[in-house]
């Protein structure tokens, strides 16, 4: 990068789910000249993600430099007892790197970064991304209208009825990110920029195995990055991903069903619990006896309507009752699928359960902590060791271990928010085994998604602040925020878990007296929840 007259010292580029196994074939084919240059001219390599390596938790770890036990976001959902809400920025308990830079008198433009709605005021602009509502709260107020006046319509997500134009929407959404960032960079003249692209993840969830769609998305990212580098001329560019992406050739492990077979989970067909709606989705609600089958178009429209009403795991049964559709759905769903879909974990009778698959672990039903707790506190440690032994012994039908690691939560989570985490962390073997909350059908089945998240993402660092001749090793996503601060000759916060990457100068550490707002806001956006369900993030 050329320093020239640029006022943009550092541009942080986020490419969700990017990894070398996906990028290198595209580099070899000459598809991505701009990205390829970043990876060949600077320091580059693997970037290790966290546990769990999923978007909603990993991006806050990237922009705060701390583990989820400190920032407080463990997945797409935030639980309060048995109630839940989709996470938002008010749930992030540590300041972001742009807030730390703001405290140092430096300005920022942040575009499309997940879990940034509603933003807190800074010198600059924040246009939130993934898990925000379609019309997000922006900073400063009125920013979204200004962006649309400048570049035309701006969307966080593609229209949900646009499947026929899905790839075109991937491209258009990617273009919107670049256009919005360049406009805001001209307007606010920031010191720091953060531009994130999400469709590089979405394409694998929505179009698994579609190589041309993947190439189309990455070509669009490459083009927008080229335009942005030309227009903004940053002194330093740091490109990072939150996790990798790859094929899942192993099994789906139904943790709650396994725990039920061993006497730890009790199922119910009604009341409070987690209905296994993924089983109905797995069967696509389309096959069955002639008298139960229903046309795909009619069913998809019905399910879409239910999703807009908030049809997600915990709320599904109650909503069907509320809108008078339980019997209608039952008439059109195969009998076996209906029985499976109605099975729920009985919270009041179960000792432990997997409440959310992407948390990668189980939560003990602890008396005094959970609303219907049954495990006495004095038995907690012994019971947790019992669970660790049980889960560590789990084997697939092929005789392979289900998990690489089964450990207490303290192994991965440290900080005041750790109490929100699972009690036992389960790391799937080579991230080739997927976890599921579903009940019924036995402990194992085929993976729900043939492509899903892997632990190793990637990074590239180019510019005056980076030494491309230094061995970068394998940095961690916690190292991103400290490294960004170092490009401004600012020390990292002493409470950060990450270190400055070896390719940049370590400026030491200090304590930034800047605390996140203690208030929280509810998302309560059924459209966001429905999108997460469609992508497989909510069962």
Q: What is the pLDDT of residue 333?
A: 43
Tell me the C-alpha distance between 385 and 406, whole Å: 10
- Shared-domain flag, residues 425 and 472: no
Contacts 24+ apart (CB under 8 A), 179-183: 179/151, 179/224, 180/111, 180/112, 180/127, 180/147, 180/151, 180/154, 181/109, 181/111, 181/228, 182/227, 182/228, 182/231, 182/232, 183/147, 183/150, 183/151
Q: Where are the beta strands (DSSP E) in 342-423?
A: 344-345, 352-353, 361-364, 403-408
Residue that has been written with the tokens 């007296």 in this structure: 513
User: Model pTM?
Assistant: 0.87
Q: What is the CATH number of the domain that holds 227?
A: 3.40.720.10
Q: How far apart are CA 8 and CA 237, in angstroms?
A: 10
For residues 231 and 182, the answer to whether their CB atoms sit within 8 Å is yes
Q: Which stretches of 137-210 are DSSP H helices?
A: 143-151, 166-188, 199-206
What per-residue confidence (pLDDT) applies to 268?
Answer: 87
Question: What range does the domain containing 292 cover?
Answer: 278-335
Asked, for residue 7, whether it belongs to a domain, the answer is no
258 neighbors 483 (Cβ within 8 angstroms):
no
Token pair in block for residue 29: 């084919």
Burial group, residue 2, by CB count within 10 angstroms (0-12, 13-18, 19+): exposed
SS3 483: helix
**Calpha distance 304→190 (Å, rounded):** 41
Q: Does one domain contain both 45 and 172?
A: yes
DSSP string, 424-471: EEEEEGGG-SEEE---SS-SEE--S-SEEEESEEEEEEEETT--TTS-
Q: Which segments of the chain have a pLDDT < 50?
A: 2-4, 275-341
User: Would you say 265 and 256 are in contact if contact means Cβ atoms under 8 Å apart?
Assistant: yes
- H-type helices in 350-422, by residue range? 380-392
Domain identity same for 504 and 528: yes
Residue 305 domain-assigned?
Answer: yes
Q: Which of 448, 465, 491 is the last residue of a domain?
A: 448
Q: Looking at the structure, do residues 268 and 306 belong to the same domain, yes or no?
A: no
- The answer on 184 and 139 residing in a single domain is yes
121: in domain: yes
pLDDT for 344: 85
Q: Residues 253, 186: one domain?
A: no
pLDDT reported for residue 529 = 62
Pairing of strands 192-197, 403-408: unpaired
30 and 72 within one domain: yes
Is 418 among the domain residues? Answer: yes
Considering the domain architecture, whether residues 432 and 412 belong to the same structural domain is answered as yes
Task: Show which of 448, 469, 491 is a domain's final residue.
Answer: 448
Give pLDDT, residue 347. Answer: 84
- Looking at residue 81, its pLDDT comes to 87
Question: Considering the domain boundaries, does residue 177 fall inside one?
Answer: yes
Q: Rounded distance, CA 536 to CA 524, Å?
A: 19
**Domain membership flag for residue 325:** yes
Same domain, 68 and 127: yes
Note whether residue 320 is domain-resident.
yes
All residues at 6 or more sequence positions from 338 whose CB lies less than 8 Å from its CB, including other chains: 280, 330
Residues 59 and 83 in one domain: yes
Domain final residue pick, 318, 335, 352: 335
The pLDDT tens digits of the residues spanning 33-92 come to 999 999 999 999 999 999 999 999 999 999 999 999 999 999 999 999 888 889 999 999
Sign of CA dihedral 231, 233, 238, 239: positive
Do 212 and 73 reside in the same domain of the chain?
yes
Number of domain units in the chain: 3
Residue pair 477/48 in contact (Cβ under 8 Å)? The answer is yes
Q: Quote the CA–CA distance of 537 and 77 in Å, as a whole number.
A: 10
Answer whether residue 539 is part of any domain: no
Omega of the bond prior to 118 within 30 degrees of 0, cis? yes
Does residue 505 contact residue 134 with C-beta atoms inside 8 Å? no
Q: What is the pLDDT of residues 305-351, one digit of tens each?
A: 433 333 333 344 434 344 344 444 444 444 344 444 457 899 889 99
Give yes or no: residues 135 and 233 share one domain.
Answer: yes
């Amino acid at each position: 990068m050329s320093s020239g007259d640029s006022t943009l010292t550092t541009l942080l580029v986020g490419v969700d789910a990017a990894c070398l196994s996906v990028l290198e074939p595209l580099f070899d084919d000459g598809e991505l000249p701009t990205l390829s240059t970043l990876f060949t001219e600077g320091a580059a390599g693997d970037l290790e993600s966290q546990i769990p390596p999923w978007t909603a938790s990993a991006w806050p770890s990237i922009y705060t430099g701390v583990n989820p036990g400190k920032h407080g976001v463990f997945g797409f959902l935030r639980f309060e007892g048995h109630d839940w809400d989709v996470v938002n920025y008010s749930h992030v308990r540590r300041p972001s790197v742009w807030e730390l830079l703001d405290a140092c008198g430096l300005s920022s433009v942040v575009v499309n970064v997940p879990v940034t709605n509603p933003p807190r005021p800074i010198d600059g602009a924040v246009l939130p991304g993934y898990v925000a509502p379609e019309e997000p709260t922006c900073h400063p107020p009125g920013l979204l209208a200004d962006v649309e006046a400048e570049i035309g319509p701006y969307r966080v997500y593609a229209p949900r009825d646009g499947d026929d134009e899905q790839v075109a929407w991937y491209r258009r959404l990617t273009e919107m990110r670049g256009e919005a960032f360049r406009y805001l960079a001209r307007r606010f003249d920031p010191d720091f920029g953060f531009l994130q692209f999400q469709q590089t993840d979405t394409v694998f969830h929505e179009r698994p195995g579609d190589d041309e769609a993947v190439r189309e998305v990455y070509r669009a990212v490459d083009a927008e990055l080229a335009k942005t580098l030309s227009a903004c001329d940053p002194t330093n560019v740091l490109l990072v991903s939150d996790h990798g992406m790859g094929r899942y050739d192993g099994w789906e492990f139904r943790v709650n069903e396994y725990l039920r077979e061993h006497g730890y989970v009790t199922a119910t067909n009604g009341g409070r619990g987690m209905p296994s709606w993924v089983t109905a989705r797995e069967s696509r609600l389309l096959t069955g006896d002639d008298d139960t089958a229903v046309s795909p178009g009619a069913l998809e429209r019905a399910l879409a309507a239910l999703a807009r009403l908030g049809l997600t795991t915990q709320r599904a049964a109650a909503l069907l009752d509320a809108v008078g559709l339980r019997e209608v759905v039952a008439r059109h769903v195969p009998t076996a699928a209906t029985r499976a879909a109605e099975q729920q974990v009985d919270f009041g009778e179960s000792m432990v359960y997997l409440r959310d698959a992407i948390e990668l672990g189980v939560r003990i039903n602890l008396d005094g902590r959970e609303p219907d707790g049954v495990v006495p506190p004095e038995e907690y440690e012994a019971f947790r060791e019992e669970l660790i032994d049980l889960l560590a012994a789990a084997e697939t039908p092929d005789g392979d271990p289900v998990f690489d690691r089964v450990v207490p939560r303290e192994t991965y989570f440290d900080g005041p928010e750790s109490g929100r985490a699972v009690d036992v962390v389960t790391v799937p073997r080579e991230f080739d085994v997927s976890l599921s909350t579903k009940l019924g059908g036995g402990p194992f089945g085929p993976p729900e998604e043939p492509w899903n998240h892997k632990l190793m993402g990637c990074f590239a660092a180019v510019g005056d602040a980076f030494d491309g001749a230094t061995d970068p090793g394998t940095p961690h996503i916690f190292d991103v925020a400290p490294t960004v601060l170092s490009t401004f000759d600012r020390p990292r916060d002493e409470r950060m878990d990450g270190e400055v990457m070896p390719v940049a100068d370590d400026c030491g550490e200090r304590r930034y007296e800047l605390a996140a707002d203690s208030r929280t806001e509810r998302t309560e956006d059924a459209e966001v929840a429905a999108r997460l369900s469609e992508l497989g993030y909510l069962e």
